[in-house]
Amino acid sequence: MICTAVASIVLALPAQLLARATMYWYQPHYMPSVDDASNRLQFSSPHFAPLVGNVDLTTGYSLQRVDVNKLGINLSFTKSGVNQSSQYYWSWWGGYVAPVTTPFKDDIVTTIVYADVSYFEIYNNAQAVDFPSTWCVDYVNRGPQTTRNSTICVAAQADSYGLIDALATLVVASGGSLDISPGVQIRPSSDKEFRNHPARAGLQITRLEVGGPPLLAGIKEGDIIHSINGKLCTGESVFFEVFNKAIREKPDGGLVHLEVLRKNNSMAFDLHYPNPDENVAQLRQQSAAPSTRHPVGSVIQIPSDAGAPAAPLSPVRFGFQVRAVTDADVVPMGLAKARGIVVVDVEKGSLAEKMGFLIGDVILEVNNSEIGDQELFAQYVHSGAAKKFKVWRKGQSLDLVVPESM
Out of 60-69, 150-159, 271-280, least confident range: 60-69
Out of 23-37, 103-117, 238-252, 262-276, least confident range: 103-117
Considering the domain architecture, whether residues 241 and 160 belong to the same structural domain is answered as no
Considering the domain architecture, whether residues 24 and 162 belong to the same structural domain is answered as yes
- 73 closest CA partner among 46, 45, 110, 40: 110
- 325 closest CA partner among 339, 336, 312: 339
- Domain span including residue 123: 5-173
Out of 181-195, 236-250, 388-402, least confident range: 181-195
Between 58 and 310, the higher pLDDT residue: 58
Buried b or exposed e, range 224-237, using 16+ CB within 10 angstroms = bbbbbeeeebeebe
Considering the domain architecture, whether residues 219 and 347 belong to the same structural domain is answered as no
Q: What is the structure's pLDDT at 220?
A: 94
Considering the domain architecture, whether residues 357 and 393 belong to the same structural domain is answered as yes
Residue 160 identity = S
Between 13 and 155, the higher pLDDT residue: 155
Q: Which residues pair with 138 in a beta bridge?
A: 121
Considering the domain architecture, whether residues 250 and 304 belong to the same structural domain is answered as no
Is 288 part of any domain? no
Is 252 part of any domain? yes
Q: What is the structure's pLDDT at 150?
A: 75
The DSSP line for 35-100 is HHHHHHHHHHGGG-EEEETTTEE--S-EEEEEEE-SSEEEEEEEEEEEEEEEEEE--TT--EEEEE
**Percentage above 90 pLDDT, the chain:** 19
Selection from 213-227, 307-321, 380-394 with the highest mean pLDDT: 213-227
Considering the domain architecture, whether residues 162 and 228 belong to the same structural domain is answered as no
Q: What is the mean pLDDT of residues 118-142?
A: 78
Is 282 part of any domain? no
pLDDT at residue 267 tops 90? yes
- Please give the mean pLDDT across all residues of the chain: 76
Q: What is the structure's pLDDT at 68?
A: 73
Is 33 part of any domain? yes
Out of 26-30, 82-86, 159-163, 247-251, least confident range: 82-86
Out of 159-173, 194-208, 353-367, least confident range: 194-208
Q: What is the structure's pLDDT at 314?
A: 41
- Please name the residues in contact with 207: beta carbons below 8 A apart, sequence gap of 6 or more: 23, 184, 185, 221
pLDDT at residue 404 tops 90? no
Q: What is the mean pLDDT of residues 168-175?
A: 87
CB 262 within 8 A of CB 223: yes
Exposed / middle / buried, residue 277 (Cβ in 10 Å: 0-12, 13-18, 19+): middle
**Percentage above 70 pLDDT, the chain:** 73
Out of 183-197, 242-256, 294-308, least confident range: 294-308
Out of 16-30, 301-315, 355-369, least confident range: 301-315
Between 30 and 378, the higher pLDDT residue: 30
Query: Which of these three, 153, 173, 193, is where a domain ends?
Result: 173
Q: What is the structure's pLDDT at 97?
A: 74
The DSSP line for 195-259 is HH-GGG-SEEEEEE-BT-HHHHHT--TT-EEEEETTEE--SHHHHHHHHHHHHTSSTT-EEEEEE
Q: What is the mean pLDDT of residues 149-155?
A: 78
pLDDT at residue 264 tops 60? yes
Considering the domain architecture, whether residues 121 and 201 belong to the same structural domain is answered as no
pLDDT at residue 228 tops 70? yes
Please count the structural domains in the chain.
Answer: 3
Q: What is the CATH number of the domain that holds 377?
A: 2.30.42.10
Q: What is the mean pLDDT of residues 272-299?
A: 68
Out of 109-123, 158-172, 369-383, least confident range: 369-383
Considering the domain architecture, whether residues 316 and 222 belong to the same structural domain is answered as no
* pLDDT digit string, tens, across residues 108-123: 777 888 888 889 999 8
Considering the domain architecture, whether residues 100 and 135 belong to the same structural domain is answered as yes
Query: Which of these three, 238, 273, 308, is where a domain ends?
Result: 273
Q: What is the structure's pLDDT at 99?
A: 76
pLDDT at residue 390 tops 50? yes
* pLDDT digit string, tens, across residues 174-214: 888 899 899 998 888 765 555 566 666 789 999 999 999 99
Considering the domain architecture, whether residues 66 and 153 belong to the same structural domain is answered as yes
Is 303 part of any domain? yes
Is 121 part of any domain? yes
Give the model's confidence band at 147: pLDDT under 50 very low, under 70 low, under 90 confident, else very high: very low
Considering the domain architecture, whether residues 47 and 159 belong to the same structural domain is answered as yes
Is 286 part of any domain? no
Considering the domain architecture, whether residues 318 and 222 belong to the same structural domain is answered as no
Out of 11-20, 154-163, 165-174, 344-353, least confident range: 11-20
